[in-house]
Every structure is written in C-alpha cells, then in structure tokens.
C-alpha cells in the first residue's frame, strides 16, 4: 500500500511537472508567434520624444496633416488592386482619425485628409501586398526624395502603406475592427507616430496586446504635439 501510494504520488508529481512545462512552452510559443512588426522597417520601434509623446523624435510628415481643413492632405488607395472590403475599412480607419472632436476620444486635432484619385497629390498611398511572413499584417515605408527614410532621423513627404488582406483575415476573420485597426495603425505611422506598449493606443502592436482599432486620446495628443 505504501509503495503504491508512493508510486501514485510520483505519478501526480510527474503530471504536475508536465503541466508546468507545457504551460511554460505555450507561453514562449505565444510570445514568439505574436512578435509582429519586423516588416515595418524604419517604423518598427517603441520610443518617446523628449516631451513624452510616442513620436519619432518629433519628425513629421512634410506639409502637415491638413491644418483643420484649411489645407487638405490627400490619401490614395490602389482601388484597382485592393479588395473592396479592405478599401472600405481603410476609409473608415481614416474617418476615425479625422472626426475625433464629436466622436471618441473627443480630442480635436488638425487632421484633415481626403481621398484622391490623383496619386500625384497623395501623401499616403495604400496598397494591398503579400507579406511572406504570415505573422506580419502590414508595413509602412516613409519616403523623401525617392528614398526610404528612417523617421527617427528624417522628415518624410510620402508614405507607402502595404496591407496584407489574407494575413489580417487569417488572424481576425471577417472582422471590421481587425482591418480598421491595422489600417489606422499604419496611418498613424504615416503621420509620425511610433509604437507604444499602451494597449489602449492604436499604435500598440497586435503582438503587444492592442485592444483598440481607433485612435485614443493619447494618440490625438501626440498628433497635436507634432502639428497643432
């Protein structure tokens, strides 16, 4: 009886250790498989400017973000090539950046963008892309003078935003918030916001636990810090 109970104790102990090991490796797997953002090139960074905002050392989109409608800025969507559903989500994402005075988070910013069919006047171009790494949903490259610039060191005049429909779809399913969140996040980069670990900020990476798909008050304050 004593031996048996010892054996049983040992069994229980082994099971516990196995459970702990499984849990441990599950956590590691979750962590590594959620580490997105590698393809975001120069914008793949969490940092704060000297004033405490999540910006790239206060570098900006040349020409600003629209000046409260006094000067409009334009974005362009490669509609010929982009999935219609994704197109609509891009438009909603930008709408959510513009109309923040009477909608949450009730913070006025100078952002005033309009869609254009003339790519020449656009400062933010949206493309549907195919990113080989399924864990990466999108990326933004910031350009000046025909070259990709690291926004930590330079201002930029144009943003190329690539969205991977299928990578987003495979993660979220047909979920407006998923597509809008990714588009809103990339548009935030185009305007000069970098990553943050604040899960209530649209500039938090999915892998870091972002819970929102629209700009937060802090995101709007950071825009005001750069352009207001």
Residues engaged in binding Zn ion (CB under 5 A) = 40, 49, 51, 58
Q: Which is nearer to Zn ion, 40 or 125 (CB)?
A: 40
Nearest Cα neighbor of 73 from 137, 13, 7, 125 is 125
Q: Which residues of 68-102 are buried (b: 16+ CB within 10 A; e: fewer)?
A: eeeeebbbbbeeeebeeebbebbbbbbebbbebee
The CA distance from 51 to 14, in Å, is 53
Q: Which is nearer to Zn ion, 58 or 88 (CB)?
A: 58
CB of residue 228 to Zn ion, shortest distance in Å:
12
Q: Which is nearer to Zn ion, 51 or 145 (CB)?
A: 51
Distances (CA, A) of 216 to 97, 134, 181, 223: 10, 27, 12, 11
Cα first-last separation, the chain: 79
Surface-to-core class of residue 22, CB atoms within 10 Å of its CB (0-12 exposed, 13-18 middle, 19+ buried): exposed
Q: Nearest residue by C-beta to Zn ion?
A: 49
Q: Which is nearer to Zn ion, 49 or 116 (CB)?
A: 49
User: CB-side exposure of 140: number of CA atoms within 13 Å?
Assistant: 29
Measured at the CA of 92, the angle between CA 58 and CA 129, to 5 degrees, comes to 75
Q: Which is nearer to Zn ion, 40 or 164 (CB)?
A: 40
CB of residue 72 to Zn ion, shortest distance in Å:
25
Place of tokens 């304050």: 221
CB of residue 193 to Zn ion, shortest distance in Å:
9
CB of residue 19 to Zn ion, shortest distance in Å:
36
CB of residue 203 to Zn ion, shortest distance in Å:
7
Q: Which is nearer to Zn ion, 40 or 219 (CB)?
A: 40
CB of residue 76 to Zn ion, shortest distance in Å:
20
């Amino acid at each position: 009886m004593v031996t048996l109970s010892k054996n049983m104790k040992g069994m229980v102990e082994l099971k516990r250790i196995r459970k702990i090991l499984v849990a441990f490796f599950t956590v590691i797997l979750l962590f590594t498989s959620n580490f997105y953002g590698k393809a975001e090139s120069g914008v793949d960074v969490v940092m704060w400017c000297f004033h405490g905002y999540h910006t790239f050392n206060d570098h900006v989109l040349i020409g600003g973000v629209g000046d409260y409608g006094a000067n409009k800025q334009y974005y362009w969507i490669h509609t010929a090539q982009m999935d219609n559903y994704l197109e609509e989500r891009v438009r909603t994402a930008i709408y959510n950046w513009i109309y923040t005075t009477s909608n949450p988070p009730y913070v006025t910013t100078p952002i005033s963008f309009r869609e254009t069919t003339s790519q020449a006047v656009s400062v933010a171009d949206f493309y549907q892309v195919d990113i080989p790494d399924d864990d990466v949903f999108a990326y933004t490259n910031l350009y000046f003078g025909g070259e990709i610039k690291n926004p930590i060191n330079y201002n930029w005049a144009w943003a190329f935003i690539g969205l991977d429909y299928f990578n987003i779809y495979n993660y979220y399913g047909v979920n407006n918030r998923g597509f809008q969140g990714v588009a809103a996040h990339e548009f935030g980069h185009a305007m000069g916001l970098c990553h943050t670990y604040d899960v209530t900020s649209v500039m938090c990476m999915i892998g870091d636990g972002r819970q929102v798909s629209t700009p937060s008050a802090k995101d709007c304050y950071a825009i005001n810090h750069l352009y207001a």
